Amino acid sequence: MEAKLTKVAVIGGSGYTGLELIRLIHAHPRLQLTYVTSEQYAGQKIRECYPFISPSINLRYQPLDIKDAFDAADTFFLALPHGISLALTPRLRKKEKIVIDLSADYRLKNLDTYQKIYGKTHSDKALVSQAVYGLPEIYRHQISSSSLIANPGCYATSIILGLIPILKAGLVNNAAPIIADSKSGISGAGRKAEATYLFTECDQNIKPYKIGKHRHVPEIEQELNLIGQSEIHILLTPQLVPIRRGILSNLYIPMRQNSPSMEKIWEIYQEFYHKEPFTLLSPLGSIPCIKDVYLSNFCRLGLTFDQRTNTLVVVSTIDNLLKGAAGQAVQNLNIIMGFDEKMGLSDAAPYP
């Protein structure tokens, strides 16, 4: 007997993340894409706007009509700019819809911090307390029983996954900050026309930006403080590099004195992640690169240790649009629905 499909809507389906959601949902054996919005392209067929979309997708972009949306789908992916989900999510939850929000609107538990970072007064304190941070490697059990997921940011995903095991082991010297040197492809900024992202500005260039004050830092520290049960500080240097997609974070972690051998540290990471379907640890002596995760939902980690400075270096790399956004969102929905967590996400990516 054929399984009933879960009807899914993508609210904000014309940006990079929204388009990835469309692609993943359409290919998923248990999901049915039924409603997609775009104010810019309302009324136009998705595949006419984006010819790479499968010809079997005959949907048109819709202007958001909340009543139509209620009737069209049971699950909603919100791929919207920060602040917009706040008006929509309470109405969806009142109708008992599953909401996976890919903005930052439900990630930060401290609403004063949200206002400071995003310049908006948060209007939904009640649902913030209910939202589960959608990083399965930490919160799988909570995700499975939730209907409101705050999907993590892309820098946050790469950095937190690189740090969880060593923080849980209690081996980090908290007297100094952890340095995150993170490089991101241009798609991380979203699909927008700004001079910074023009080809002639990006090509043959690497551009650091928002050093120490990127908006993902409070999100990262919030989660790391919970993991390490102590105050953790991150110094993040994000850098725009001339590639389409991908994030590579070099994490420099000051260690306590008399820290264990590199082999023992590797075993700590291996023990933590050996059952995880999408976070993979490289063998000692092997360091991952962005090509290793391109077009996949994997996070790959590599470890090395600098004895002279007593610093553990973790290299963490993800595809920012998949494990850093749309892929992780589908992974979260798989968990909520009781599907195989890898469903629709485990196909091998093309190479080169």
Residues involved in catalysis: 154
- Name the nearest CA neighbour of 182 among 246, 234, 237, 235: 237
Task: Judge whether 321 and 306 are in contact, CB under 8 Å.
Answer: no
Element (H, E) at 158: helix 154-168
Q: Residue with structure tokens 């010809």?
A: 55
CA-nearest of 163, 154, 206 to 327 is 154
Burial of 108 (C-beta count, 10 Å sphere; 0-12/13-18/19+) = buried
With residue 33 as reference, give the H or E element that holds it. strand 31-37
Q: For the residues of 81-134, what is the DSSP string, one character each? A: -TTTHHHHHHHHHHTT-EEEE-SSTTT-S-HHHHHHHHSS----HHHHHHPEE-
Beta-strand relationship, 75-78 and 6-11: parallel
Helix or strand run (H / E) with residue 271: helix 262-273
User: Contact 158/298 with Cβ under 8 angstroms?
Assistant: no
